[in-house]
Chains A and B, each alone.
Chain A
Amino acid sequence: MRYLPHTAEDAAAMLETVGVREIDGLFASIPEGCRFTGRLDLPEAFSEWELERRMAELADRMAISPEYLLFLGAGSYDHHIPATVSSLAGRSEFVTSYTPYQPEMLQGTLQGIYEYQTLTARLLGMEVATASHYDGATALAEALLMAVRITRRKKVALSRAVHPHYRQVVRTYFAPTGYELLEIPCLETGLTDLDRIGECGDLAAIAVQSPNFFGCIENLQVAADRTHACGALLVACFTEALAFGLLKSPGSQGADIVAGEGQSMGIPRAFGGPALGMLASRKQHMRSLPGRLVGKTTDRDGKRGFVLTLATREQHIRREKATSNICSNNSLNALTAAMYMASLGGTGIRELAALNHDKAEYLKDRLREAGCTIRFAAPTFNEFVVGLPGGFEAGHRRLLDRKIVAGLPLGPYYPELADCGLICVTETCSRQEMDRLVREVIP
């Protein structure tokens, strides 16, 4: 096996040094009754070339562009990834290192994550951002637990327009805690009914997603004002980080904590993971943040350098009193996101975000003209809810036969929207492709 470099001669010399005759002698501390004496029932070893063929067979059974025309978003977005980003993020000095416990020999990762924290804080309009979480859903769950710690209140409310899977993950995290979860309903406009915030009582936090799961842009300023009036924290959530190239940032509208998904920032969809949990807050809450943080410092010669910091919040120091159990996070994806944000720049991200919005508006207008229902009146970013002539499910199924995935049917998530689907358009979708969808939706 090529990953095991030991020759028989090496093994013999090592065994002689150790003073045992056979390697098995080193396992003498394992009692007989604990040993597995059989042979694992696994496939025989593949050569590299057999492996490539096997994996190609599996990969071929996945529907991807360009064979398929996909209008799927719902938390995982198809954006162009510059070759530079893939190439740089694939550098093995980044890929094959680990958590920078020895900062002097991992300054590349550390400066890279410090830059990521900075760009993320700027993107979200916050003062500090963590080094990363697993994904948007776990970042949201950790943000809400953080709000409980800060406010010492035991109840949180989530908008019904928060990604349904995120709400499920929050429910999972909250199940053993005894903290209460409330749901804030939506209005006919597709927006959260912010008037209901005041009725929720003694809340630690309100979570509102913007753009929300329906693509609609929420008024976070009003959400923040109402939330703060109850003495609670506003946790702004998002699934499409690119939106903040164009929209007001959550921080500028009064959010206290921002948590969401950074996959749009140069990270392949990879069937949903690994993605990137982004989590940011105001500086006053810095010591309540879960997860790794990189800080700036100096070395003995006074030169600038970076280290993991505020470790006294963390599990390896505080154990059961830690602000989170997180250890390995999604560092390489955070670094990738920073590369992507740096590649776009302030000018580029605005242009790209506007292009996403304009394309989605184009398709929305064409679909409306073709007799589709645009379900919600509220402004949207790059996805929107639509009803198809003849019913969404039927239309969706029919289009699948033509190798078009016309968005996500919403029935399984929102019974009240059983006849609608969520359509997403990004910069990767051409006008011709959108026109084709419009032609084909008419039965």
Chain B
Amino acid sequence: MSEALGTNGLVLNEPLLWERGKKGRRAFSMPAADVPPNPLPAELTGEGPDFPDLGEIEVVRHYTRLSTWNFGVDTGLYPLGSCTMKYNPKINEKLAGVPGFAAAHPLLPTALSQGALQLMHDLERFLSEITGLDAVTLQPAAGAHGELTGMLIVHAYHRSRGRQRTKILIPDTAHGTNPASAALCGYAPVPVPSGPDGVILPETVAALMDDETAGIMITNPNTLGLFEENMPEIARIVHSRGGLVYGDGANMNAVLGMVRPGSIGVDILHLNLHKTFSTPHGGGGPGAGPVAVRKDLSRFLPSPRIVERNGVYALSADFPESVGRVVAYHGHFGVLLRAYAYILSMGPDGLKEASRFAVLSANYIRERLKDVLHPAFDRPCMHECVFTDRNQQASGVTTLEMAKRLIDHGYHPPTIYFPLVVHGAIMIEPTETETKEELDGFIEAFRSIVREAGENPQALREAPSRTKVKRLDETAAARNPCLAG
């Protein structure tokens, strides 16, 4: 038995910023004043914010110590289902820091920003090719923002046809962002139950789809890690009643170069560049959520849009039916350029290989855990595998307790209790960038936790025990919120 990955080390305490410092210290190289002082009228000025004054070494130590309390993909396996925590290439971070990109002002005259515009125009074409859809906007700032943009397009489409609709179909396995995004556009979500095999059945959609329904939002592969194999038929039904098909591309990492959503009936699709295209998740963003649409919907895309003529790029707001701007400038350009660099690094074959190994890795984990954890569906999965807590119910050990125990072993837990339709769900997405040895270590750790659940459940209830803090009281945090010090 090799040594466990998780271990104890020296962890340093670190106070809050304002519990440190002394008045008069600074960690900033203040430029000398080369102009005379010119004070504002006193009635306009305030006291200035009550920030602590810290020395440079204090700031450096503070955040270095905080960083050691964090776990990232660079630290270890981070198999959060539906989050696609793949490796974030270092070269892309370096490229994002190139002054021509990092220091570029968003309102530069277009003649002086051809490089960024060309990059974005190329990226639009790449994403269009990958999705099989005709036009792309790069403005949306995150996946949920892409969903909102997509719903705005659906709304604009129905308005343009002279009659707005009131409802939208959303499978019961969907991310919570789907109904929340639809609700922002005034659509009442109608849940679509999954069939017995975990996929949506055409007859279910046919029974729900009517002339008051704007369309369907469908994640494919879905959050159970299954391909929605009835997609073309579902799309046909929705289209026949005048609706649109919105594809949530959060799980595109399973099918790059193998399925093009535009070819199977999807009208509008968002991609999460921070999932499928390797840009870092940043502890909760920034991401990017470009939206691709079929040709006749391109007139509704956010404006301004990048237009090219004879190799010269410009921004045009001449799209009278556009839903308008969804961000202040051009979207998360710093994220877009990392995704662009990733696509160029991978090439067409590399992207397809990524999906193939993402799916192989998920199936490998599924196969090696299915005798101890109960698979939600008895069939091969795509990029993620989902288990229920059925086998653990007798011992009374919960999914949460197993997840917390994984932390002691040195792994980030999978997504848990989602999708909602799976009891005690454990949703594992290893991604293609993990070695077999890493997957084996995770599998062994999970198997040992399942054994421990039978033999010594108390160890699970006390987990995590190797982290800087033990189990945190989330109930107390919500009951008496303290959001600032």
Contacts and interface: CB of A to CB of B under 8 A. Distances in A.
A375 B69 CA distance: 52
Nearest to A25: B380
B49 A324 contact: no
8 contacts: A76-B106, A94-B282, A112-B63, A172-B326, A275-B328, A295-B477, A321-B183, A330-B285
Contacts of B329: 75-76, 135, 165, 271-273
A273 B148 contact: no
Nearest to A380: B40
Contacts of A51: 91, 95, 341, 344-345
Interface string B435-452: 110000000000000000
Nearest to B476: A297
A345 B27 contact: yes
Most buried by B among A132, A307, A310: A307
A439 interface: no
A268 B287 contact: no
A102 B108 contact: no
Interface string A329-356: 1111101001101111111111111110
Interface residues of B, number: 205
Q: Which 3 A-B pairs have the closest CB atoms?
A: A272-B329, A59-B100, A272-B106
B147 interface: yes
B16 A115 contact: yes
B46 A271 contact: no
A342 B54 contact: yes
Interface in A297-342: 297-301, 303-307, 309-312, 314-322, 324-333, 335, 338-339, 341-342
Contacts of A304: 469
Interface residues of A, number: 202
Nearest to A31: B229
B118 interface: yes
B1 interface: no
B284 A329 contact: yes
Nearest to B114: A61
A209 B113 CA distance: 28
Given A93-B75, A315-B180, A127 B108 contact: no
B439 to A, nearest CB: 8
A99 B118 contact: no
A310 B483 CA distance: 10
Interface stretch (B205-213, B239-247, B346-354, B391-399): B346-354
Most buried by B among A317, A335, A346: A346
Given A52-B95, A94-B70, A273-B330, A119 B49 contact: yes
A104 B283 contact: no
Contacts of A24: 356
Interface in B459-485: 464, 467-474, 476-478, 481-485
A5 B434 contact: yes
A176 B184 contact: yes
